[in-house]
Chains A and B, each alone.
Chain A
Amino acid sequence: EAQVTQNPRYLITVTGKKLTVTCSQNMNHEYMSWYRQDPGLGLRQIYYSMNVEVTDKGDVPEGYKVSRKEKRNFPLILESPSPNQTSLYFCASTGRTEAFFGQGTRLTVV
């Protein structure tokens, strides 16, 4: 079964404490990306990766980092989270005609 797995599903953290949200796909896709969803703004792309070791900024990259050391994994790193990064985050893996999304990670930064 085609799957994108994100962890954790829910996370509450404090300002400045580094965190990583993991994402893994089992479809051998090259293109993966991270989005954040905020009320009234829809989903906006944070970072994307076109293949292993190839990553680039999306529309709202400030405060985030990513890495792509293996094709299946694309973690999102917040090195010093701030309250304005409180949001719902989605990882996506894109095939030939469709993007598959993870279940989302609801992050709260206090």
Chain B
Amino acid sequence: AQSVTQLGSHVSVSEGALVLLRCNYSSSVPPYLFWYVQYPNQGLQLLLKYTSAATLVKGINGFEAEFKKSETSFHLTKPSAHMSDAAEYFCAVTGSTNFGNEKLTFGTGTRLTIIP
């Protein structure tokens, strides 16, 4: 079984500041991990994914995340926030051994606000 904890349901950062969104996971098998972004009134867009290759994963729009097995974490970062980054972000986990036949388990989401 898998679970995800996203620390901080709301995060505010100033434009140009570092963005750090936290995600910790629990999985009984080696995990695949994902970050999705949801802009207002839109669907879910994949930002990046970890599928057991490189532990530092780069995604779209300048975001990256590092898989740390020892800390069971997959935090999302961006060096310099932009106003267009304002959105809700979801971390998700699934088991790697049967991917394609298992559900994604999502965290409760983090709403990111960018302060001008």
Interface set of A (CB-CB < 8 Å, partner B): 29-31, 33, 35, 40-45, 48, 50, 58, 90, 92, 94-99, 101-104
Contacts and interface: CB of A to CB of B under 8 A. Distances in A.
Interface in B33-80: 34, 36, 42-44, 46, 49, 51
A102 B100 contact: no
Interface of B: 9, 32, 34, 36, 42-44, 46, 49, 51, 90, 92, 99-104, 106-109
Most buried by A among B9, B44, B46: B44
Contacts, number: 56
Given A30-B100, A58-B103, A43 B42 contact: no
Interface SS of chain B: loop
B108 A94 contact: no
B46 A42 contact: no
A103 B42 contact: yes
27 contacts: A29-B100, A30-B100, A33-B103, A35-B106, A40-B9, A40-B108, A42-B106, A43-B90, A43-B92, A43-B104, A44-B106, A45-B103, A50-B101, A90-B44, A96-B99, A96-B100, A97-B51, A97-B99, A98-B46, A98-B49, A99-B34, A99-B104, A101-B43, A102-B43, A103-B42, A103-B43, A104-B44
